[in-house]
């Protein structure tokens, strides 16, 4: 089933990491919407079941208030201790422009992920990221990464599940957590056509 036409009237997105994947951290869409509305989000909807909460806010400060209130409810009511990452639509569009300029852009969209970090990593994080084993000895070749501020693009040569660049490893290396979405999902969250 193809997703509905992308929503274009939202200003911000909450990205939750690790919910509704497997059997743990199960949360219904209605609950996600209720938590965001209770925190002050306007015109709240979700995309897919993986923790993408789209909403409108009058300012970035108001959106941060929604994030904080949402995260508190997720902990207190849902028992979830997961990253809740706030990103505005303009940043998602800028991330897509960054991706399109990468020499390794293209290919299977599910093998390309954007991780939006909770904060900018320390300046030395880029060097630490480059020093990680990206799977250079694999027949399919290494995974690729590009870090700009709190935006990390990863292209997995053989698929996300087989990548040596696991979320936990990236967290340790960068010193900051984030939430990842594949290229198709990022396009939809940015209010653009999903692409090929």
Query: Which of the listed residues 55, 82, 109 is the one where a domain comes to its end?
Result: 82
In the predicted model, is pLDDT for residue 1 greater than 80? no
pLDDT confidence of residue 117: 97
Q: Does 183 share its domain with 166?
A: yes
Please give the Cα distance from 98 to 194 (Å, whole number): 17
Domain assignment present for 7: no
Non-local (6+) Cβ contacts of 20 within 8 A are 26, 27, 49, 50, 51
Please give the Cα distance from 165 to 178 (Å, whole number): 13
Q: Does 40 share its domain with 103?
A: no
Q: Tens digits of per-residue pLDDT, 45-90? A: 999 888 899 999 999 999 999 999 999 999 999 999 899 999 999 9
Q: Does 78 share its domain with 112?
A: no
Which residues constitute the domain of residue 148?
A: 90-190
Cβ atoms of 101 and 29 closer than 8 Å: no
In DSSP notation, 108-146 reads: -GGGEEEEEESSPPPTTHHHHHHHS---TTSTT---EEE
Task: Specify the CATH number for the domain of residue 41.
Answer: 3.30.70.1280
In the predicted model, is pLDDT for residue 141 greater than 80? no
Query: Which of the listed residues 63, 82, 101 is the one where a domain comes to its end?
Result: 82
Non-local (6+) Cβ contacts of 61 within 8 A are none
Match 């979320």 to its residue by tokens: 167
Q: Tens digits of per-residue pLDDT, 11-26? A: 899 999 988 766 777 7
pLDDT confidence of residue 18: 80
Helix spans in the chain (H): 29-38, 60-78, 89-100, 125-131, 167-174, 183-189
In the predicted model, is pLDDT for residue 131 greater than 90? no
Query: Which of the listed residues 56, 82, 108 is the one where a domain comes to its end?
Result: 82
Cβ atoms of 77 and 132 closer than 8 Å: no
Task: Specify the CATH number for the domain of residue 132.
Answer: 3.30.70
pLDDT confidence of residue 35: 96
pLDDT confidence of residue 130: 86
Q: Does 144 share its domain with 52?
A: no
Please give the Cα distance from 41 to 111 (Å, whole number): 31
Please give the Cα distance from 13 to 41 (Å, whole number): 10
Distance, C-alpha 13 to centroid of its chain: 9
Lowest-confidence region among 3-12, 21-30, 155-164: 3-12
**Number of domains the chain is built from:** 2
Please give the Cα distance from 25 to 38 (Å, whole number): 20
The pTM (predicted TM-score) of the whole model is 0.89
Q: Does 66 share its domain with 44?
A: yes
Domain assignment present for 4: no
Domain assignment present for 96: yes
Domain assignment present for 1: no
């Amino acid at each position: 089933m193809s997703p509905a036409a992308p929503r274009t009237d939202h200003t911000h997105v909450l990205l939750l990491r690790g919910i509704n994947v497997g059997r743990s951290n199960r949360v219904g869409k209605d609950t996600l919407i209720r938590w965001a509305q209770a925190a002050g989000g306007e015109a709240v909807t979700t995309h897919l079941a993986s923790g993408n909460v789209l909403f409108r806010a009058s300012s970035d400060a108001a959106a941060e208030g929604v994030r904080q209130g949402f995260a508190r409810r997720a902990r207190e009511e849902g028992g979830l201790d997961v990253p809740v990452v706030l990103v505005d639509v303009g940043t998602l569009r800028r991330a897509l422009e960054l991706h399109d300029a990468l020499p390794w852009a293209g290919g299977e969209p599910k093998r390309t992920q954007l991780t939006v970090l909770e904060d900018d990593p320390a300046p030395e994080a880029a060097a630490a990221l480059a020093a990680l084993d990206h799977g250079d000895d694999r027949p399919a070749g290494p995974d690729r990464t590009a870090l700009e501020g709190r935006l990390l693009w990863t292209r997995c040569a053989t698929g996300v599940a087989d990548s040596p660049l696991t979320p936990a490893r990236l967290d340790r290396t960068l010193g900051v957590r984030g939430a990842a979405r594949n290229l198709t999902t990022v396009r939809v969250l940015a209010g653009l056509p999903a692409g090929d």
